[in-house]
Structure 1
Amino acid sequence: MGSVPEGIQIRRLEVFGEREVQGLSDVLIDCVEGGASVSFMLPMTRDKAHSFWSKAAESAARGERMIFVAEDSSGAILGTVQLLMDQPENQPHRGDISKMLVHRRARRLGLGAALLTAAEQAALNAGKTVLVLDTASEDAERLYRRQGWQYCGRIPDYALMPDGAFCDTHVFYKLLAPGST
């Protein structure tokens, strides 16, 4: 589970230069234009993507989240996932998985599983023992189940698809223990 495909590097972004923000923006734009319900509506502009990633980078610098990327041998970002660390004081053991995004040209190569494994390991290393996420994607749902996530249920009409249609979300959790990722 989660082995890194040949020629791909999974790493935590700790420095966000213009190259990283542009690469992350390219992935976000591609996913939204491909129909992913990940908080954005069409048209998905570069300004919206750049603003989101700039704010996410600031949040990462404050230790509120970790951002992981999958890069090819040229350094191009093909996918990303976030681990949201900043939780209420009564939930210091919990983290949220957010913005699992893989560029359409790089799907079905194992990048999602490798990114998820990296985020899970980082969560465990940070003392997190419970992770939660939600998804509107059937493909992502299959990935999470394969990676050992437990399905909680469906919330109807939870959000909008990029084109404005309502979509349900499916909620998952995973209990982490040493050696479980």
Structure 2
Amino acid sequence: MELLTPEAVRAHATALGALLVDAVDGGASVGYLAPLDPAEAAAWWAGAAGARDVWAAFGPDGTVTGAVTLLRTDTANGRHRGEVARLLVHRAARGRALGRRLLAAAEARAAAIGLTLLVLDTQTDSPAERLYRGAGWIPAGTIPEYAADPAGTLRATTLYYKLLAA
């Protein structure tokens, strides 16, 4: 896996978009309803270039098998924190600890650039919760009916945080 430059994110936007489509098709609540148009998914990634740090994992054939983003807060009172978002692992690449490695890469980068607090949210009772809890993330609370899943059903979301060593 590698931290992509903004140019590389734009160059891989179509492949990253295909990963996002796979996540939505698989039921992940990541901001979109199914079916997600591949062009819309690619456009989101192209827009993320430069605004977020993006890591991508590639399979032996060069396909994107996973990705994660780190969004830094630019407010004066929040420069110590960041948000982990869009941790995605292609359904064909699951079960190989790729999600854990992507999350660890984002956490390591956050610590290296001086962030001391990370936050994220995920659908309550989703498989992702096991990953986050296993990686030391702490649930801060649950909000009912926070976001619609890809089928349009409102679901609860759990907010998590992790304090990083200063």
TM-score normalised by L of structure 2:
0.93
2:161 to 148, 151, 173: 173
| 1:53-93 C-alpha deviation (Å, 9 max, x unpaired) | 11011xx2xxx310011112232110100000133221110
- Paired with 2:98 and 2:143, the residues of 1 have a C-alpha distance of 27
Give the corresponding residue for 1:140.
128
| Equivalent of 1:91 in 73, 78, 81 | 78
Report the Cα offset of residue 26 of structure 1.
Answer: 1.0
Q: Unaligned stretches of 5+ in structure 2?
A: none
**Residue pairs, 1:144-159, within 5 angstroms:** 144-159=132-147
Among 21, 26, 34, the alignment partner of 1:42 is 34
Task: Give aligned-pair identity as a percent.
Answer: 41
Count the aligned residue pairs. Answer: 164
Q: What CA RMSD, in Å, does the superposition of the two structures yield over aligned residues? A: 1.4
CA-to-partner distance for each residue in 1:115-161, whole Å, 9 max, x for gaps? 00000000011110000000016211000011111111111000101
Counterpart amino acid of residue 161 in structure 2: Y
Secondary structure of the residue aligned to 2:108 is helix
What are the superposed Cα offsets for residues 94-118 of structure 1, whole Å, 9 maximum, x if unpaired?
Answer: 0000001111111111000000000
Structure 1: gaps of 5 or more residues = 1-9
Q: 3-state DSSP class of the match of 1:30?
A: helix
Runs in 1 of length 4+ with deviation above 6 angstroms?
A: none
Instruction: Tell me what 1:26 maps to.
Output: 18
Q: CA deviation at 1:18?
A: 6.1
